[in-house]
């Protein structure tokens, strides 16, 4: 055991471990971003401190800095929990005494209403009115992603990684098994049922290579440019011809699939565009503009689906259909649960 190991040295070793451990399908997970942030914030004041001397009071001081920075209570708890986890790993590698880890575990997470850190409002469903009003201003591909997610209640990431080879179209109700999902590391299986309405939106995207992604940004951009060209009023003999005003060396190229971030950005742009056009049209009519559409995220579509399913079919149906971890039941009931999810999609999806 290295009794002279400092926090800076421990952080470096843990980061090397984290880069190899927090990986999914060859890509770094979001935990790498959180760990990198925590290690940077931790080594600023405590870099020269001996790892064996880092205790509960130091952890509380670190947490207080996050509170003063204005972060939410749940986010602070999430970041602060990384430090004991690092010392747990270090103890298993015999880098620090195990007592350091056990002492850090005595620091409880921040409790709601008993700390200065604020609590963000829970994610609310997006109203169908707001979603429908946004659709005309979205690229055609993204609009179909929104429709598909609202009908099936799947996660944003599950929409982005959808491929023809993952969809079983042999039955009346299709089933989609994502190549990767949020809880697969816990050994849980994810099965998403696709009803007749969602099938209509998905069907054109299945006519491609089986292993390619259904929703492709390059195709979306191509359709958008074609629509702009169709609305063109300037004769081709005047102004720019299609493709002549593009950058020779663009910094970014459309990817082979949407990410959850690019999916959300597309919706943000569409909502802002809808509000801007709505205000301009109201001004042209000499009227007061109506209330602007709220900014909303793809995850709120999932909440909307959950709300409708729970209202119409009950809590168990919502848990099973959306694949919530709390619906993890024994293997004996898996077939019954999936039948229930399929029946839900038959009626609403």
pLDDT, tens digit, 9 for 90 and up, residues 35-44: 999 999 999 9
- Give the strand order in the sheet containing 167-168: 167-168, 174-176, 192-194
CA distances from 335 to 308, 330, 331 (A): 23, 10, 8
Q: What whole-number distance in Å separates Cα of residue 312 and Cα of residue 293?
A: 27
User: How does the average pLDDT of the chain come out, rounded?
Assistant: 85
Domain residue limits, the chain: 7-104, 128-244+252-348
Question: What was the pLDDT predicted at 319?
Answer: 77
Under 8 Å between Cβ of 198 and 152? yes
Q: Which residues pair with 168 in a beta bridge?
A: 175
Is CATH 1.10.443 the right assignment for the domain spanning 128-244+252-348?
A: yes
DSSP 185: G
pLDDT band at 73 (very low <50, low <70, confident <90, very high): very high
Give the lowest-confidence range in 72-76, 300-304, 333-337. Answer: 333-337
Torsion angles phi and psi, residue 174, rounded to 5 = -75, 160
pLDDT top residue among 148 and 244:
148
Place of tokens 């986010």: 75
CA distances from 298 to 113, 178, 242, 344 (A): 29, 17, 32, 21
pTM given for the model: 0.71
Question: What was the pLDDT predicted at 24?
Answer: 81
Question: What was the pLDDT predicted at 333?
Answer: 29
Residue 86 has pLDDT above 90, yes or no: yes
Q: What is the mean pLDDT of residues 251-277?
A: 87
pLDDT band at 241 (very low <50, low <70, confident <90, very high): low
Q: What whole-number distance in Å separates Cα of residue 37 and Cα of residue 175?
A: 39
Residue 247 has pLDDT above 70, yes or no: no
Question: What was the pLDDT predicted at 335?
Answer: 42
Structure tokens at 275: 């509000």
pLDDT top residue among 47 and 189:
47
End-to-end CA distance of the chain: 59
Q: What is the mean pLDDT of residues 243-264?
A: 73
Q: What is the pLDDT of residues 126-148, one digit of tens each?
A: 999 999 999 999 999 999 999 99
Q: What whole-number distance in Å separates Cα of residue 245 and Cα of residue 15?
A: 44
Residue 120 has pLDDT above 90, yes or no: no
CA distances from 126 to 129, 177, 344 (A): 8, 26, 20
Question: What was the pLDDT predicted at 254?
Answer: 63
Residue 97 has pLDDT above 80, yes or no: yes
Question: What was the pLDDT predicted at 328?
Answer: 42
DSSP letters of 286-316? T-PPPPPPPP--HHHHHHHHHHHHHHHH-HH
């Amino acid at each position: 055991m290295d009794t002279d190991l400092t926090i800076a040295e421990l952080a470096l070793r843990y980061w090397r471990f984290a880069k190899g451990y927090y990986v999914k399908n060859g890509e770094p997970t979001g935990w790498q971003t959180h760990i990198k942030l925590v290690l940077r914030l931790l080594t600023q004041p405590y870099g020269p401190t001996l790892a064996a001397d880092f205790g509960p009071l130091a952890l509380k001081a670190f947490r207080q800095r996050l509170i003063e920075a204005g972060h939410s209570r749940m986010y602070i708890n999430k970041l602060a929990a990384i430090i004991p986890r690092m010392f747990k790993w270090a103890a298993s590698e015999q880098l620090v005494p195990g007592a350091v880890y056990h002492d850090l575990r005595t620091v409880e997470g921040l409790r709601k209403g008993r700390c200065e850190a604020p609590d963000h409002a829970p994610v609310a469903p997006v109203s169908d009115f707001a979603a429908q009003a946004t659709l005309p201003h979205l690229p055609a591909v993204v609009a179909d992603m929104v429709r598909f997610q609202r009908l099936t209640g799947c996660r944003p990431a599950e929409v982005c990684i959808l491929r023809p080879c993952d969809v079983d179209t042999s039955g009346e109700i299709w089933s989609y098994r994502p190549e990767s999902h949020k809880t697969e590391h816990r050994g849980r299986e994810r099965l998403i049922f696709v009803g007749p309405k969602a099938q209509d939106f998905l069907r054109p995207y299945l006519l491609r290579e089986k292993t390619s992604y259904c929703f492709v940004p390059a195709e979306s951009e191509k359709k958008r440019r074609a629509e702009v060209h169709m609305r063109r009023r300037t004769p081709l003999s005047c102004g720019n011809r299609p493709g002549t005003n593009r950058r020779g060396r663009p910094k970014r190229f459309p990817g082979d699939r949407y990410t959850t971030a690019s999916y959300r950005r597309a919706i943000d742009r569409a909502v802002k565009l809808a509000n801007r056009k709505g205000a301009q049209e109201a001004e042209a009519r000499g009227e007061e503009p109506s209330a602007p559409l709220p900014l909303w995220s793809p995850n709120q579509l999932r909440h909307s689906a959950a709300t409708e399913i729970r209202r119409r079919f009950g809590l168990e149906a919502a848990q099973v259909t959306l694949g919530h971890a709390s619906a993890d039941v024994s293997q004996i009931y898996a077939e019954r649960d999936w039948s229930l999810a399929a029946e839900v999609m038959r009626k609403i999806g």
